[in-house]
Amino acid sequence: MKPPPFEYHAPRSLGEALDALAGAGEHGKVLAGGQSLIPLLNMRLAAPAHLVDINRLPELAFVDVAPEGVRVGALARHAQVERHEPVAAAQPLLRRALRLVAHPVIRNRGTVVGSLAHADPAAELPAVLALLGGSVRLARSGAVRDVPADDFFTGPLESAIDPGELAVSAFFPAPPPRSGTAFREIARRHGDYALAGIAALVVLDDDLRITSATVACVSLGPVPLLVDVSEAVGHRPSASADWASAARAVRERVDPEADIHATAAYRRHLAGVLTEQALRDAAREAADA
Ligand SMILES: Cc1cc2nc3c(=O)[nH]c(=O)nc-3n(C[C@H](O)[C@H](O)[C@H](O)COP(=O)(O)OP(=O)(O)OC[C@H]3O[C@@H](n4cnc5c(N)ncnc54)[C@H](O)[C@@H]3O)c2cc1C
């Protein structure tokens, strides 16, 4: 099928892009890598009257690494961030998660910020942003605001981006000292969307006891649910941590749906298994940090 008709805008500056989005209001859509939007248009599941293509704005293709974390511009492709060595050193979870996103050809076009804006609960990057307590910077003509991950994902394929706004960048904070992260997921084939996935963050104290353990869930509810399992795990060295209790806590909190790929019960089961695996991985990394 072909997409429904739309007016195509190809702005040459951020100002022009924001003006085009302001003019289009609720009838406008941003086109970034097109890896999610173009299929939606072709299947006529989306029918915006105006398409604002940001691919001629190279000033948005930046990746900035600082001690506080990594800021990724709206036109930074998955592959660019995945292969960026300073990013991998500053925030290793990003590369781990990006390697699980689709296939290399899709990662060559798809953007990190586009993936967040798309807000698919089956996608890896929203869970990473939620776990790390990151944020998305939104701009409209004359105003900029930073929206924390907690407030950004409002439902399946729904975010806090208002009509007329452009997500200009996303910020992924650096890991706290003595911490480790991990990402585990199960997909039917490598590159497919995950049936379920878990991103984990474990922080230790100077005696290598666990001070906090948190997971963010993929494909296990309408948004990337964050579950603090610190109490379940216990303030203990990781060798004696109660990972099974953490897995139970996550199984009880998730709200998975059934589809043609998996039943809700199977997804809930995976949530527990993956939680235990991801927490153990993250704790190992924290102990070596
Ligand atoms: C076969 C296939 C498999 C895939 N598998 C996975 C997977 O396993 N995991 C995964 O996470 N993703 C997967 N994807 C999706 C891929 O990661 C996309 O790149 C990503 O979802 C969207 O990024 P994009 O730049 O292509 O956005 P686009 O497709 O251009 O846009 C997606 C949506 O976000 C909005 N948007 C984009 N950028 C902005 C912005 N800067 N400001 C405001 N709104 C914006 C658009 O208007 C649109 O509504 C897959 C895609 C395909 C085709």
Mean pLDDT over 181-185 rounds to: 98
Render pLDDT for 119-171 as a digit per residue (tens, 0 to 9).
999 999 999 999 999 999 999 999 999 999 999 999 999 999 999 999 999 99
Q: What is the rounded CA–CA span in Å between residue 15 and residue 223?
A: 31
Render pLDDT for 37-57 as a digit per residue (tens, 0 to 9).
999 999 999 999 999 999 999
**For residue 202, which of 162, 175, 173 has the smallest C-alpha distance?**
175
pTM value?
A: 0.97
> Is the distance from CB of 169 to CB of 76 less than 8 angstroms?
no
Ligand 1, atom 48: nearest CA belongs to which residue?
Answer: 37
Render pLDDT for 23-33 as a digit per residue (tens, 0 to 9).
999 999 999 99
Ligand 1 test: best mutation among 29, 36, 50, most atoms within 8 Å of CB? 36
- Model pLDDT, residue 42: 93
**Does the C-beta of 186 come closer than 6 Å to ligand 1?**
no
Mean pLDDT over 251-264 rounds to: 95
Q: Average per-residue pLDDT in the chain?
A: 96
DSSP labels for the chain? -PPPP-EEE--SSHHHHHHHHHHHGGGEEEESS-TTHHHHHHTTS---SEEEE-TT-GGG--EEEETTEEEEETT-BHHHHHT-HHHHHH-HHHHHHHTTSS-HHHHHH-BHHHHHHHT-TT-HHHHHHHHHT-EEEEEETTEEEEEEHHHHEEETTEESPPTT-EEEEEEEEPPPTTEEEEEEEE-SSTTSPPSEEEEEEEEE-TTSBEEEEEEEEESSSSS--EEE-HHHH-SSBGGG--HHHHHHHHHHH------SS--HHHHHHHHHHHHHHHHHHHHHHHHH-
Render pLDDT for 198-219 as a digit per residue (tens, 0 to 9).
999 999 999 999 999 999 999 9
| Token representation of residue 91 | 């925030």
Size of the chain in residues:
289
Distance between Cα 118 and ligand 1 center (Å): 6
- Model pLDDT, residue 239: 86
Q: What is the rounded CA–CA span in Å between residue 133 and residue 39?
A: 30
- Model pLDDT, residue 289: 81
Of 252 and 3, more confident: 252
Strand order in the sheet with 69-73: 63-66, 69-73, 166-173, 135-140, 143-148
Q: Scanning the structure block, which residue is given the tokens 């604002």? A: 52
Q: Percentage of the chain surpassing pLDDT 70?
A: 100
Q: What is the rounded CA–CA span in Å between residue 205 and residue 111?
A: 36
Distance between Cα 167 and ligand 1 center (Å): 13
**Does the C-beta of 33 come closer than 6 Å to ligand 1?**
yes
**Does the C-beta of 124 come closer than 6 Å to ligand 1?**
yes
| Token representation of residue 31 | 């086109």
Adjacent-strand bridge partners of 73: 169
**Does the C-beta of 267 come closer than 6 Å to ligand 1?**
no
Q: What is the rounded CA–CA span in Å between residue 240 and residue 32?
A: 46
Q: What is the rounded CA–CA span in Å between residue 128 and residue 116?
A: 10
- Model pLDDT, residue 1: 73
> Is the distance from CB of 127 to CB of 217 less than 8 angstroms?
yes
Mean pLDDT over 169-189 rounds to: 96
Q: Which atom of ligand 1 is nearest to the CA of 46?
A: 49
Q: Dihedral of CA 10/77/221/232: which sign?
A: negative
Q: Which atom of ligand 1 is nearest to the CA of 29?
A: 47
| Token representation of residue 134 | 């990151």
Q: Find the largest Cα–Cα distance for the chain.
A: 62
